[in-house]
Amino acid sequence: MIRKYFKIICISFGVLIFTVTTSCKEEKKSVKQTKVTFKKEGELQLIKAANDSVIAELDIEIADNDYETQTGLMYRESMKANRGMLFIFPNSRPRSFYMKNTKIPLDLIYLDTDKIVVSFQENAKPFDESSLPSNAAAKYVLEVNAGLVKQWQLEIGDKMTFTKD
């Protein structure tokens, strides 16, 4: 009697193993990551308020719709020093950004409707989801590589001009 139950258990176990390994076999799915590349959409100048001298000239990508403003520079591996991303919003209000899925450290420059620097956040850390708020209402936000605000000696009151391609 015990042999009969043992035989049934062994056969049932064998069928179970066979079923699991053949019918539930997990297919290997290849995860294809899309490489995000820079697309020049305009040129930008930062200008010293005190003497109207050009501080920096950049090729820019422009984020001016919901998808682009939510994605920004996420998933980028790097960015050249002469490049940036300019966010253009439909209105001026306090802004706040974070670094979710952003692999490169950034400086964020907040500008008002007159394209005047009102505040900035320096050395935002990759993947940090802490809030990076403006200190005043902003219509534009410029993201550049970390350290450039200091290197350029950018100050509140400095100006920006840009052209779209």
Q: Is the pLDDT of residue 10 over 70?
A: no
As beta bridge partners, residue 60 has 42, 84
Could you tell me the CATH number of the domain that includes residue 109? 2.60.120.1140
Lowest average pLDDT, out of 1-15, 27-41, 72-86, goes to 1-15
Mean pLDDT of 117-144: 98
Residue 150, helix vs strand vs coil? helix
Looking at the chain, the whole-number percentage of residues with pLDDT higher than 70 is 79
Q: How many domains does the structure of the chain reveal?
A: 1
- pLDDT band of 3, cuts 50, 70, 90: low
Mean pLDDT of 13-41: 55
> Is residue 94 one of the residues assigned to a domain?
yes
pLDDT at position 15 is 45
> Is residue 119 one of the residues assigned to a domain?
yes
Lowest average pLDDT, out of 22-31, 78-87, 97-106, goes to 22-31
Please give the Cα distance from 21 to 18 (Å, whole number).
5
Q: Which two tokens stand for residue 36?
A: 């995000």
Q: Are the beta carbons of 152 and 55 closer than 8 angstroms?
A: yes
**Chain-wide mean pLDDT for the chain?**
86
pLDDT at position 36 is 79
Q: Which residues constitute the domain of residue 98?
A: 42-164
